[in-house]
Amino acid sequence: MLDGAELHVMEHATGWRSKRPLYRNHFCAGPGHEDWPILQELCTRGLMRVSLSAEPTLGGQSVFTVTEQGLVELKESDK
């Protein structure tokens, strides 16, 4: 089950609360970002993954995406 902060990160990554849920699937952050520890934990649990690591065009930030398993958890948390 996702806690509030994890749910917030995954909703932001996917646009879950928008008019078009799942229209995107990315979250850009780097070390020092307030959500970095949450992103690392979600990756450890297989709910998100690093798609691009330390991308120079993004100022050294990494791009995270929600996995299929993460989408299942996100949908379950929305019930």
pLDDT in tens, 29-50: 999 999 999 999 999 999 999 9
Least confident of 21-25, 51-55, 69-73: 51-55
Q: What is the pTM of this model?
A: 0.92
Q: Indicate the SS3 state at residue 40.
A: helix
62: which strand partners?
A: 29
Domains of the chain: 4-77 (1.10.10)
Q: Taking Cα atoms as reference points, which of 54, 8, 3 lies closest to residue 32?
A: 54
Measured CA to CA in angstroms, residue 53 lies from 56, 57, 60, 73 at distances of 9, 11, 8, 24
pLDDT in tens, 3-38: 999 999 999 999 999 999 899 999 999 999 999 999
